[in-house]
Amino acid sequence: MELNFDIRGNLKPTEIIEISMDTFQQTFVNAFKEESIRQQLFAFYEKYKVDAYIVANYPENHKNHIFTKSDLLYWRSLFGKTRVNRAKKQYGKGLIQLNFVKDE
């Protein structure tokens, strides 16, 4: 899957975009120079599995589905837009979704 970005480098479309870990690594890590800090951060992530924002994905008919909806709204409001710039403008941006299955 090829990801698209606007002229400011924001991920488009402005919605949650589900991608694989391979696509994530190719686009946001391997596309940069080997000495890039991204390489170090990703290696640290692989070792310790840190800096993730978890949303439990309850099915629509589950009694706790409201938690899934409220968490998604929270993360969209927090990360779905850029900061307000000097011209007092704010731009929408997409969010990456990586799926992990809980071991049972």
Q: Chunked in runs of 10, what are the mean pLDDT values of the chain (104 residues)?
A: 92 93 93 91 84 84 95 92 96 90 66
CA distance 52 to 38: 15
pLDDT tens for residues 25-37?
Answer: 999 999 999 888 9
> What is the structure's pLDDT at 48?
84
Predicted model pTM: 0.76
> What is the structure's pLDDT at 104?
59
What are the structure tokens assigned to 91, written together? Answer: 């731009």
> What is the structure's pLDDT at 2?
86
Beta strand 4-5 with 11-12 is antiparallel
> What is the structure's pLDDT at 103?
65
3-class DSSP string for 35-83:
CCHHHHHHHHHHHHCCCCCCCCCCCCCCCCHHHHHHHHHHHHHHHCECC
The verdict on whether omega for the bond into residue 59 sits within 30 degrees of 0, i.e. cis, is no
